[in-house]
């Protein structure tokens, strides 16, 4: 197995020591930082697949982000998210809806999307329907992800989807929901396109909606 393959495997196995050693060796032998980032992303995909199969858990995702961050430190972290447009898979607007100030679910999805090659426009928490709309228009994002942890967010979710309808943007912008308070019933109630059971689902839907799968 050559160095790149070993790096992908080590990332998938969450073997930080190996990942850092191999990335360092590749750098020393003249590899481009972006090549190493791409290999890490391949490894990250393995992590995502294992998470989906319930071989890994949220703790595994967080650990992989940590390893990824340490690799970026090795390369100069700033290069990670300074890909040019042709290297990005697409843009995603994320936020927690009006009335909800929990950000942990959104942070995890954001982390996974960025590591998967998407540019994330994070609107934060307690985001009004009009702010989601503005965020999608201003950024040109084709996907909006909304993470809700409280049932009081059901009406704001519905209002957000309605705001996109009113502006004639529902064909261009896909809306996915996630978070502990969300289910298929809530997705139907709000009129969203999909709901994600976990962060891995969110990446899967984003890829689908962006035509990257």
List of residues contacting another protein (CB under 8 A): 54, 56-60, 62-63, 65-66, 99-104, 107, 150-152, 154-155, 181-183, 185-186, 189, 198
Question: Can you tell me which residue has the tokens 């393959």?
Answer: 5
Query: Minimum Å distance from CB 201 to another protein?
Result: 13
Query: Minimum Å distance from CB 65 to another protein?
Result: 8
Quick one: 163 or 182, whose CB is closer to another protein? 182
Mark 39-65 as b/e (b = at least 16 C-beta within 10 Å): bbbbbbbbbbebbbeeebeeeebeebb
Query: Minimum Å distance from CB 36 to another protein?
Result: 22
Quick one: 136 or 161, whose CB is closer to another protein? 161
Quick one: 70 or 139, whose CB is closer to another protein? 70
Query: Minimum Å distance from CB 96 to another protein?
Result: 10
Quick one: 13 or 38, whose CB is closer to another protein? 13
d(CA 136, CA 121): 9
Query: Minimum Å distance from CB 186 to another protein?
Result: 5
- H helices of 33-181, where? 33-52, 58-75, 104-115, 129-139, 154-166
CA 164 to chain centre: 22
d(CA 32, CA 193): 39
Give the neighbor-by-neighbor strand order of the sheet with 194-196.
Answer: 118-122, 90-95, 143-147, 174-178, 194-196
Quick one: 54 or 168, whose CB is closer to another protein? 54
């Amino acid at each position: 197995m050559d160095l790149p393959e070993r790096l992908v495997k080590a990332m998938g196995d969450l073997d930080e020591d190996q990942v850092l050693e191999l990335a360092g060796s590749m750098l020393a032998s003249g590899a481009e930082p972006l090549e190493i980032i791409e290999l890490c992303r391949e490894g990250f995909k393995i992590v995502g697949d294992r998470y989906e199969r319930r071989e890994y858990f949220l703790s595994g995702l967080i650990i992989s982000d940590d390893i990824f961050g340490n690799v970026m430190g090795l390369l100069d972290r700033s290069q990670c998210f300074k890909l040019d447009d042709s290297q990005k898979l697409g843009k995603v607007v994320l936020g927690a809806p009006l009335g909800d100030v929990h950000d942990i679910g959104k942070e995890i999805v954001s982390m996974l999307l960025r590591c998967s090659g998407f540019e994330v426009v994070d609107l934060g928490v307690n985001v009004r329907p009009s702010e989601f709309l503005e965020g999608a228009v201003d950024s040109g994002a084709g996907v909006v992800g909304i993470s809700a942890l409280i049932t009081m967010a059901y009406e704001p979710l519905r209002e957000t989807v309605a705001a996109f309808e009113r502006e004639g943007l529902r064909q261009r912008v896909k809306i996915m929901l996630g978070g502990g308070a969300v289910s298929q019933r809530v997705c139907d109630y709000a009129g969203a396109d999909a709901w994600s059971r976990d962060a891995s689902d969110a990446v899967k839907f984003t890829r689908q909606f962006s035509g990257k799968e």
